[in-house]
Amino acid sequence: MPDLVLLNGPPASGKSTLAVRLIESRPLALDLDIDVIRGLLGGWLDDPSAAGLAARALALQMARTHLRAGHDVFVPQFIGRVEFVEQLEALAADVGARFVEIALVLDRAEAIEAFQRRRSAPEEQSHLDAAALVDRSDVADPVGELYDRYEELLESRSHVHRVPVRPDDIDATVAAIEVLLS
């Protein structure tokens, strides 16, 4: 039975880095980074909300295809509203996959600081894209607001697996997730 693994967490919590590490030991596992898919859409920054919904719809179809082929799918994505989580959960049930919902945990101040560190030294296009979205926000503390929305979501998801993020020890975080997946 393949796994559909949601790696949810605040911005800059290490979701994408963890997904890359986790698929290394799983032949043909898919790192389905929705932010990358969104970035492939022309003019996405002009309407990021519509682009995000389109990227999620594409990701669901990609995940369906890959899970039906018997392969694991990892979705490293900040999710602050339950709808997409429920869509992923329904997809897993529909194709006979195990759905594993993982919440990366770090405190609000650490999350904001991690985002600022990544913003000052971006390593990937998705880091630049995230900074562009924050710059366009009309909210005083956009990263803090995203963190708060994430925490609210987690309050409604009692069965989520919470994994503390250890930014100074990625191996420990990977190992904790591997235990959940075994």
pLDDT in tens, 69-114: 999 999 999 998 899 999 999 999 999 999 999 999 998 888 778 7
CATH, residue 55: 3.40.50.300
Q: Which two tokens stand for residue 172?
A: 């420990």
Q: Is residue 165 part of a domain?
A: yes
**Which has the higher per-residue pLDDT, 165 or 130?**
165
d(CA 155, CA 159): 10
Q: Is residue 59 part of a domain?
A: yes
Whole-number average pLDDT of the chain: 89
The count of structural domains within the chain is 1
* Statement: residue 13 has pLDDT above 90: no
Mean pLDDT confidence for 19-28: 96
Q: What are 136-179's pLDDT values in tens digits?
A: 667 777 777 888 888 899 999 988 999 999 777 899 999 999 99
Q: Which two tokens stand for residue 92?
A: 């897993």
Q: Is residue 95 part of a domain?
A: yes
Domain with 74, as residue range(s), is 3-177
Q: Is residue 46 classed as helix, strand or coil in its secondary structure?
A: helix
Q: Which two tokens stand for residue 59?
A: 């990701």
Neighbour tally for 181: CB within 10 Å: 15
Q: Is residue 182 part of a domain?
A: no
Dihedral over alpha carbons 71, 32, 169, 116 (to 10 degrees):
-170
Q: Is residue 92 part of a domain?
A: yes
Q: Is residue 122 part of a domain?
A: yes
d(CA 141, CA 9): 17
Q: Is residue 19 part of a domain?
A: yes
